[in-house]
């Protein structure tokens, strides 16, 4: 169990994830990510404020809050693409759940530990210093604050939109007071090329490869907009050597970290040679960057653009997509911010269309000046495609594991043998009709389905003394649940109790089809040492006939087109009664012979199919279904009466020596 393992980092396996398939004889074992294989010395965590530089690296480990399979899998796919030795997701926090979640690291299937609380996750994974919060806006603030208060957490990314501004202010204040970093709320996250990715940042793997994000470039990028980040990653990759790190701070009025926070941080990262900033109208965040530029705190080129210049075309104030994208006056307009940034020394183009060229020219000057060395060409590994995706796109074919011909739940409503559920209700179908569809895969005539329902009613119960009911009663009185009591009763069904319907049908059919006279049939069974199934009763006799048998025979004479098998069974009964008074046709024999007449007389089944129905056990299935109703009733009856544990009386036992 997770709780019994020492909270240390997983030692990378001796074989890389790239050669996991080289094992012979069996598949590679399931690797548990984020948990230790043996005790090793822990690295010391150093927390830095926003101005000291790098937040992430290829060693960064994260905790993911509120399980979302796709974003986690995309993070791990990015890890594999970048050549990381271990996945970046050390553990998942899913309140109320514990265990493991299976995911893929390349072709290797791994198990990520799932914890029920933030505290437990942080204790188990002390080197995980990034907390990625996918909680809803209702719980994002509380869970983020709980994470910030953990000594091991250094960075918290809040994805949710709509977090109350008062809660966000508290998070910002706490983070700044404790030298921690908040990215968001309302953010897609961030990415360090070739090292670490938050959630869905940068979109699909195809886009990541196209933007060369699987290896580091020289550009630090920060934006308010997550959607526009993807666009700029692509733009920057076209005209430079690519992104080193990209952050979307989020579009709320009060972001946890600002544009200038990250620009100042990029300024202290040696690998970042230039910065690209994408702001937007509304708020005054860009002016803190203006101040930093004027004060000489930024020594690297900054190419900036503030979007929203079209707002002046509207007669009234316009609220754009983000909560903060609303101009509160001239100073908050995109034009004013662009002008201020230009005057402070940033490279600001005349329009967004000219933004790409401005980035290109700045990069080329740095290359010409020898400040940016050439980036070595790296070919990323192929990410295996998920089977479901490959099948959907028609790239592969895979065998199914189950065949079903009786029902289909893939459409708008379930279908029984092709008949929609709504049709079953609208046409007033009964239980017999449903059995007809699910067992026989066709709509039988009404007299057939009515006969099925009569069988169920007549066989539902036969009192508390028969073995099945007795077992269910004893089990219920032992305090067991409904299913246990029901199964206890059902397990007594067999050749001696309720299970003779199939055998009765099989022997009666075989004898009739061979043209055996009733006496020949009975005597041949006697020679084989086999009692005739469906004949004989412990209570009923020639003078005390089973009313159930009479009702079934009466129904069949009235509605069935043919009763040849039942008539043969009656002739067999006439012969056996000459031998003993209790060798009457019982309910098993009646149902077995009449079901043969139903199948043969309906004209909907061939001889081979009838033989198969009898052989498979359809008719015993009818008894099992019917008797389940009574067994459930006996169970409820005992529980309702609050009957104590049953103990068989001594006087009812013969203690023989």
- List the one residue out of 535, 531, 516 whose CA is nearest residue 574: 535
Distance CA 414, CA 405 (A): 13
- Give residue 164's region: left, alpha or beta (phi > 0; psi -120 to 50): beta
DSSP state of 380: P
Rounded to 5 degrees, what angle do the CA atoms 228, 326, 165 make?
90
Q: Is 322 designated active site?
A: yes
Give residue for tokens 């994000």: 213
Give yes or no for a cis peptide into 185 (omega within 30° of 0): yes
Distance CA 449, CA 431 (A): 8
- Pick the catalytic residue: 322, 446, 537, 559? 322
Rounded CA Rg of the chain: 38
**DSSP code per residue over 435-472:** HHHHHHSS---HHHHHHHHHHHHHHS---SSSHHHHHH
In 3-state terms, what secondary structure has residue 48? coil
- List the one residue out of 7, 315, 327 whose CA is nearest residue 151: 7
Say if residues 44 and 77 touch (Cβ distance below 8 Å): no
Distance CA 277, CA 286 (A): 9
Annotate 465-510 with three-state secondary structure: CCHHHHHHHHHHHCCCCHHHHHHHHHCCCECCEECHHHHHHHHHHH
Cβ atoms within 10 Å of 297's Cβ, excluding its own: 14
Give residue for tokens 């390349």: 106
Catalytic residues: 322
């Amino acid at each position: 169990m997770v709780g019994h393992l020492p909270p240390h980092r997983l030692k990378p396996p001796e074989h890389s994830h790239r050669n996991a398939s080289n094992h012979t004889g069996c598949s590679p074992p399931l690797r548990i990510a984020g948990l230790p294989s043996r005790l090793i010395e822990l690295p010391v965590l150093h927390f830095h404020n926003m101005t000291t530089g790098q937040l992430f690296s290829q060693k960064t480990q994260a905790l993911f809050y509120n399980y979302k399979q796709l974003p986690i899998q995309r993070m791990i796919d990015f890890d594999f693409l970048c050549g990381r030795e271990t996945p970046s997701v050390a553990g998942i926090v899913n309140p109320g759940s514990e265990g493991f979640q299976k995911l893929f690291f390349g072709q290797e299937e791994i198990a990520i530990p799932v914890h029920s609380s933030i505290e437990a996750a942080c204790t188990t994974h002390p080197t995980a210093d990034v907390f990625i919060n996918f909680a809803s806006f209702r719980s994002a603030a509380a869970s983020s604050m709980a994470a910030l208060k953990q000594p091991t957490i250094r960075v918290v990314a809040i994805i949710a939109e709509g977090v109350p501004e008062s809660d966000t202010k508290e998070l910002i204040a706490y983070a700044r007071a404790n030298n921690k970093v908040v990215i968001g709320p309302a953010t897609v996250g961030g990415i360090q090329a070739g090292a670490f990715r938050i959630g869905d940042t940068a979109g699909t793997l195809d886009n990541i490869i196209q933007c060369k994000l699987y290896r580091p470039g020289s550009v630090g990028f920060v934006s308010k907009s997550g959607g526009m980040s993807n666009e700029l990653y692509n733009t920057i990759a076209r005209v430079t050597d690519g992104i080193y790190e990209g952050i979307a701070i989020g579009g709320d009025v009060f972001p946890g970290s600002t544009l200038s926070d990250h620009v100042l941080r990029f300024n202290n990262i040696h690998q970042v040679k230039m910065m690209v900033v994408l702001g937007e109208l509304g708020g005054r965040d860009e002016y803190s960057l203006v101040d930093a530029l004027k004060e000489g705190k930024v020594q690297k080129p900054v190419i900036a653009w503030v979007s929203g210049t079209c707002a002046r075309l509207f007669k009234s104030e316009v609220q754009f997509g983000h909560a903060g994208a609303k101009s509160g006056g001239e100073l908050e307009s995109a034009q004013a911010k662009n002008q201020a940034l230009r005057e402070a020394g940033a490279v600001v183009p005349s329009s967004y269309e000219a933004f790409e060229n401005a980035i290109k020219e700045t990069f080329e000057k740095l290359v010409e000046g020898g400040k940016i060395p050439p980036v070595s060409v790296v070919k990323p590994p192929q990410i295996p495609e998920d089977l479901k995706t490959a099948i959907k796109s028609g790239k592969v074919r895979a065998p199914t594991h189950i065949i079903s011909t009786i029902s289909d739940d893939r459409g708008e409503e379930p279908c029984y043998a092709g008949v929609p559920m709504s049709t079953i209700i609208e046409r007033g179908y009964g239980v017999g009709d449903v059995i007809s569809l699910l067992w026989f895969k066709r709509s039988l005539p009404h007299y057939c389905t009515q006969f099925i329902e009569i069988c169920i009613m007549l066989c539902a119960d036969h009192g508390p003394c028969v073995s099945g009911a007795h077992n269910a009663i004893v089990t219920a009185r032992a305090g067991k649940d409904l299913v246990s009591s029901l199964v206890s009763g059902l397990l007594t069904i067999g050749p001696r109790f309720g299970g003779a319907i199939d055998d009765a049908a099989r022997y009666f059919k075989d004898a009739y089809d061979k043209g055996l006279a009733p006496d020949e049939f009975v005597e041949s069974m006697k020679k084989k040492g086999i009692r005739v199934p469906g004949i004989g009763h412990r209570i009923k006799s020639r003078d005390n006939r089973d009313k159930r048998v009479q009702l079934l025979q009466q129904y069949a004479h009235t509605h069935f087109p043919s009763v040849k098998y039942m008539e043969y069974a009656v002739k067999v009964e006439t012969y056996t009664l000459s031998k003993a008074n209790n060798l009457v046709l019982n309910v098993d024999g009646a149902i077995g012979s009449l079901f043969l007449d139903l199948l043969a007389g309906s004209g909907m089944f061939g001889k081979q199919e009838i033989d198969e129905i009898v052989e498979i056990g359809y008719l015993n299935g009818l008894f099992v279904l019917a008797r389940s109703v009574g067994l459930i009733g006996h169970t409820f009856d005992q529980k309702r009466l609050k009957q104590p544990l049953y103990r068989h009386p001594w006087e009812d036992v013969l203690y023989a020596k």
